[in-house]
Amino acid sequence: MSTPSDTPQAAPQDPERTGIRILGYANRFSTWDSEFRFDGRIRVPMGVKIKEVRYSYTGNGKAEQQATEVKRGRGGTGEEFEVIDLTFLEDADLITFTLRGDLNVDTDPRPAYSRAYPIRVDVTLDNGDVRTAAPEVEVLAGSWQKSDPELVGRPYVRLPYDNNWGGSPNSQAGFGFVADNGRIPGDKFIIDLVNLRQGEQSVAGSNSDHVYYQLVHEDGTPSHYTPTPQLQKAEGHKGSGTGAKVTLSAIDLRQLGDKPGYYRFLVWPQAQNPDGTTSVTSWDPAKPDDAFQLGSVYYRYQAPRSIDTGLRAVIKTAQLSATAGQDRQIFPPFVIRNTGRRTIDTVKVVFTAPAGLRFVEDLVRFTRWYDEKTEVTAPGVLSADRRTLTCPAVRLDLEPTGPGKFTWVSVYPGLEVEPTAHGTLQVDIQLGEPVFATAQDTVVIEPKS
């Protein structure tokens, strides 16, 4: 192994300044509910406005569907966008918007249980600039049979659209909902629990009767209404009817003492096995990435005037050697030092690997400067292809490095080397949300002798 580099990594570009900051979106739904919901924010030169918004109707990477601008708070059902907030800074303007419309991403993914589609969003400004984002939606199978693989037919919650579920002025008004007074009426958050295996005899995950839900602020803190994910009884069903829906009662964020801002409405569907145990087909409320986002609220919303977290870090990287198809795992190390003025406490850490490498565990291991022999772990979530490991809460507890201090934390995910691996590969790390530091370890693959 070569000597790790101490060269500080360049700070990543701020998506708010160069693209679109994604606040939230309808991230997961079945083939039955092919709809798009998206909330975003951009930082533009003073006086510049949005000229046009388009998005990818078929998930083909091309933003061909145009959305029409409508009045703030309208909550319509067409291909539309609303400018929610315009905040003036000394040198720029912040534009926050919500976007909605139909999609055509309803192809049955079986034998896989889901299929991912990047939905490109293009915001064209009146100065000619184009801002782009590509949130990935996961589309689940809308049918099931006993011969399907294990995870096909996982329980899911419907994404309300048009007027099918009732509500005022429509069923989908709970996404991008404007609550200037903090009150969310009782017809906005709708839970419709579907289990394609419901009632099947001797079949795993064949009973669904509840979900967990939570309302979470843009900064990651929960609403006082849901300090932890809350259990909600709901009737699981197979069909497309909406008679089993559950509508949450009215919520008053101001009365609860919640801070203004943007909130995501998150839901985790559950299923039980015939013996009453929790099924592996359930979605884990301890994992934020397992949540279905079914709605969002702009409460007395004004965009933050600064998104600078004040966090700074240098990540020491390394170069490793490995052999294609080798039996043993590799552990690329990332040594993190705090070069800012604030303590880096608990942060989101995301690792990505290229073709040829796959993460083997849904956790990351790490050690600290004061006790290198004690290994600590933090839980994570693996993507379906095992090339992304997302650890939502890694407790680094790194104080700023100062005179006489050399504090560090070394994090190292486990990877397997595939037989097809070749060449020079790079494993990425991102710290924080928003991201405040990135780095890459290098893995040089040698051919199998």
Backbone angles phi, psi at 309, to 5 degrees: -75, -15
Cα–Cα distances (Å) from 319 to 4, 440, 443, in that order, read 7, 9, 6
Q: Residue 402 above 50 pLDDT?
A: yes
What tokens does 111 get? 């034998």
Q: Give the pairing type, strands 344-352 and 415-417.
A: unpaired
pLDDT given for residue 3 in this prediction:
37
Does the pTM exceed 0.85? no
Residues, the chain, total? 449
Tell me the average pLDDT of the chain. 92
Q: What is the pLDDT of residue 13?
A: 53
Q: Tell whether the model's pLDDT for residue 265 goes beyond 80.
A: yes
The pLDDT score that the predictor gives to residue 11 is: 40
Distance CA 212, CA 189 (A): 13
User: Residue 4 pLDDT > 60, yes or no?
Assistant: no
Q: According to the model, what pLDDT value does residue 95 have?
A: 97
User: Which pLDDT score, from 0 to 100, does residue 7 have?
Assistant: 42
> Can you say whether residue 307 is alpha, beta or left, with left for phi > 0 and alpha for psi between -120 and 50 degrees?
alpha
Beta pairing partners, 69:
81
- Taking a C-beta distance cutoff of 8 angstroms, is the pair 269, 208 a contact? yes
pLDDT of res. 302: 92
Place of tokens 């843009």: 218
Phi, psi (degrees; rounded to nearest 5) at 11: -65, 135
Dihedral in degrees, nearest 10, Cα atoms 19, 178, 46, 125: 50
pLDDT in tens, 138-196: 999 999 999 999 999 999 999 999 999 999 999 999 999 999 999 999 999 999 999 99
CA nearest to 194, candidates 24, 32, 25, 27:
32
Model confidence at 340, pLDDT cuts 50, 70, 90, reads: confident
pLDDT value at 448 more than 90: no
DSSP-assigned states of every residue in 241-272: --TT-EEPPPEEHHHHTPPSEEEEEEEEE--B
Give the pLDDT band (50/70/90) at residue 307.
Answer: low
* Per-residue model confidence (pLDDT) at position 92: 86
Segment 239-244 mean pLDDT = 94
pLDDT band at 311 (very low <50, low <70, confident <90, very high): confident
Is residue 277 pLDDT above 50, yes or no?
yes
Phi/psi of residue 18, each to 5°?
Answer: -115, -20
The sheet with strand 319-323 has its strands ordered as 319-323, 437-446, 423-431, 344-352, 388-398, 381-382
DSSP 45-106: STT--EEEEEE-SSSSS---EEEEE--TT---SSSEEEEEEEEE-SS-EEEEEEEEEE----
pLDDT tens-digit readout, 403-438: 667 889 999 999 999 999 999 999 999 998 878 889
Percent of the chain that is helix, strand, coil (3-state, to 5): 0, 45, 55
**pLDDT above 70: percentage of residues in the chain:** 95
159 in Cβ contact with 174 (< 8 Å)? no
